[in-house]
Chain A
C-alpha cells in the first residue's frame, strides 16, 4: 500500500501541490492512503542541529507510516531527509531504515509506476528548478524532466546553471538573508534568461523563496509545483 506524505510547509503554504498530487494519483488509478496523524519529517530541527528535537519527529514519522510499502512525498528535500539524513543521524534507530520506502513524486511516477506520460496538457514555456537535496541526494532530476517533456504542449527549457543552489536552505533564508537573497537573485536572473512563463520545481520550499524574489522584482513569471503541472488537463 502507498501512503502520501504532505510536508508541513506544503500543508500550510502550498496545499495546491498536495491537492494536485491527489488528483494525479486518482487520474492514474493509484490507490493510496493519507495517514491523517502525519505532521513533519523533522528536517527544520535536524538542519538547525536540534537533533534532540528531530529524533522524536523521526520516530513519530516511522510510527505514522509503519506498514506502508511506499511513502510518496511531493518534496525532494523531505524525501532526502528521510532516506539519507535519518540514517546518518542514528544508524541504529528504528527510523533509520524507513528511507528505503520513501520516494519523491517524480521518481515514484517514473521508476516505481513506470509512467512518463501522465495525460497532462499545459501549453506554456516552463523551466525547472532543481532542489539540491532532490538533485544530489536522490538524483530525481532526470525523472522530473522526463515528466515535464511528456506534457502535451509544454515548451520545456533548461535553466542555465541549474546546479547552483537557489539560496533557500530552510532557516538559512532568515539567518543569512543577504547570502540567501544574493543566491536567489542569481537564480532569478537565470529564470528570466529562459523566457519561461512558469517556473516549476519538485520543492515548494525553494519556490516560496524564488517566487518571493520574483514578486518583489515585479516579474510576471508564475511559480507552480511539478504536481500542479502534471495535474493539468
Chain B
C-alpha cells in the first residue's frame, strides 16, 4: 500500500484531545447566541451571493475603484503572482509583509515572489514560525500547532541566533521585535480578505494578533489577495458573519481585531487582486458549488476524527480536513488528489459543525464518483470487489451466489494463509464477523 499519511496515522499524540477541548470551547461560545438561526441565515446569504457572483464582482470593483483602489483580475495562480510582482516592481518594493492568507499558499505566492527577487515576510506568528522552519502550515487557523515550545525555542536559537528559551511569552516577544523592523522596511503589505463587500468595496479582515492591521497600515501600498467567492452583498451581512466566524473558528465572541478597510487614505495605494484559480470550475458544478460558501474557519478540521489522527499534511496542498478533501481535487484535479475524499467515514460531524451548513458528506461522496470516472488511483482499492458485489445485487439469484462466495471466503480465511486484501486488513485489528448459519431470507422462506 502507499505510504500516505492516511495509511499511517501520524498526527501528534495530543492532537485528538486538544481538538476536543477546542471544540467544546467553541460550542460554549455558540450556545450564547441563536446559533442555528445564524447558520441558516449565513447559508442563505452565501447562496444568494454565489448565485449572483458575477454581478456582485462587478459592483465590488466599481465601489473599490470609486474610493481610489485598483481591482485586478487573475484567472490562474501564475497570473495572480505576476500581477503581484508587477505591483511590487512599480512601487519599488523589495520586501512584502504578509498577513495570514491560505490563498497565498494556494497560489504559491512566496515561491513566485522570491523567484522575482522580492522577499516575502510572513508576519502571522504561526506562519512566521513555519516559514523559519521551512515547513508548511498544518492547520488553517493554527499553522504551527504541530510544533512544541521546545521545537520553537530550538528553531529560534538556530535560525535567529538568540539564546534558547522555551517560554512562549519570551519567544513571541523575540518574534515581535524582529517583525517590527520588517513592517517598517517593507514596500508592500499584503492581506487576504475574510469578506469583500460588494455594496461599498470594503475589505473585512479578522485576526487576533494585529499583524494583518500592521501589514495593511504601515507600508505605503496595501495589496488584498482574495478568492472571488469572498464577495458578499452588503455591510449588514457582516452582522451575521462576524459572530459566526469567530465563534466557529476560535470560540471567541469576536476576534481582537475586525478591520474594515475602506479604501486608500491620502498617501496610500490599495489593490485588490480577485482570483479565480479553479473556483469557476467549482461554480460550474451544482453538486459542489456549496463548497464555495466556506468561510475558512477550520471548524470541520477540529471535529473530524480523521483529521484529528492524521494532522494537516496528509491532505496535500493547502486545505486540510473535510473541506480540503473537496476543494483540492475540485480545483487541482481528482486524479492526483482523490485520496482524502476516500479517507472518511462520511460521519457528518463536519457538516454539523460547519457554521455555514455546507453539506460536506454528500459532496465528499460526489467527489468519489468523480474519482471513479477519472480512474484515480485513490478509487482503485476494493473497487473490483465492490463493483462485482453491486452487480450481483441486481438479481436474487446472483445475490444468493454472492452470499455463498462471501461465506466461503470468510470460512477459508479462518484457516488458510491466503486471504483477500480486505480480510487481511480487517483482521489486522479485529475478529472476523461470522456469517450466520442461516440467512434471514432462508429463515423467512422456511417460515412460510
Contacts and interface: CB of A to CB of B under 8 A. Distances in A.
- A and B in contact, CB less than 8 Å: yes
A135 B361 CA distance: 14
Contacts of B387: 45, 50, 53
Contacts of A56: 394
A134 to B, nearest CB: 10
Contacts of B426: 173-174, 177, 212
A19 interface: yes
A50 B428 CA distance: 26
Contacts of A18: 440
B8 interface: yes
A171 to B, nearest CB: 5
Interface string A155-184: 000000101110111111111111111111
A19 B365 contact: no
B198 interface: no
Contacts of A36: 396, 441, 444-445
B443 A19 contact: yes
A51 interface: yes
Interface in B380-405: 381-383, 386-387, 389-391, 393-396, 399, 403
B436 A44 contact: no
Contacts of A14: 436
Interface stretch (A4-12, A106-114, A144-152): A4-12
A154 interface: no
Contact of B436 (A12, A60, A168, A186): A12
Contacts of B7: 176, 178
Given A48-B383, A57-B393, A179-B343, A212 B430 contact: yes
A15 interface: yes
Nearest to A170: B345
SS class of chain A's interface: helix, strand, loop or mixed?
Answer: helix
B346 interface: yes
Interface in A37-61: 37, 39-40, 42, 44-51, 53-54, 56-57, 60
Contacts of B423: 174
Contacts of B236: none
B425 A212 contact: no
Interface stretch (B30-38, B55-63, B218-226, B304-312): B304-312
Interface in A173-210: 173-184, 186, 208-209
Nearest to B440: A15
Nearest to A167: B345
Contacts of B344: 169, 172
Contact of B421 (A34, A39, A170, A174): A174
Contact of A49 (B20, B371, B433): B371
B368 interface: yes
A213 B278 CA distance: 43
Interface stretch (B162-170, B184-192, B245-253, B347-355): B347-355
A136 B430 contact: no
Contacts of A40: 390, 393, 399
Contact of B365 (A46, A57, A135, A216): A46
B374 to A, nearest CB: 10
Given A46-B365, A50-B386, A54-B390, A164 B305 contact: yes
A169 B346 contact: yes
Interface in B399-426: 399, 403, 406-407, 421-423, 425-426
A191 to B, nearest CB: 14
A132 B436 contact: no
Q: Chain A interface: which size bin?
A: 35 or more
B435 interface: yes
Contacts of B50: none
Interface string B334-371: 00000000111111110110000001001001111111
A2 B42 CA distance: 40
A164 B348 CA distance: 10
B10 to A, nearest CB: 10
B371 to A, nearest CB: 6
A48 B432 CA distance: 22
B6 interface: yes
Nearest to A131: B347
A46 B441 CA distance: 24
A123 B313 CA distance: 48
B305 A11 contact: no
B372 interface: yes
A137 interface: yes
A40 B348 CA distance: 22
A50 B390 contact: yes
A37 B444 CA distance: 12
Contact of A177 (B20, B428, B432): B428
Contact of A85 (B362, B394, B435, B439): B362
Given A8-B393, A170-B345, A174-B425, 18 more contacts: A11-B403, A19-B443, A37-B396, A39-B394, A40-B393, A45-B387, A47-B346, A50-B369, A50-B383, A53-B387, A57-B390, A88-B366, A136-B349, A165-B347, A174-B426, A183-B309, A212-B431, A216-B430
29 contacts: A11-B441, A12-B406, A12-B435, A15-B438, A18-B440, A22-B444, A39-B393, A42-B393, A44-B386, A49-B369, A49-B371, A53-B387, A84-B362, A85-B365, A88-B359, A136-B352, A168-B345, A169-B344, A169-B346, A171-B386, A172-B344, A174-B423, A176-B343, A177-B426, A179-B309, A179-B343, A212-B426, A212-B431, A212-B433
Interface of B: 6-9, 16, 20, 287, 305-306, 309-310, 342-349, 351-352, 359, 362, 365-372, 379, 381-383, 386-387, 389-391, 393-396, 399, 403, 406-407, 421-423, 425-426, 428-436, 438-441, 443-445
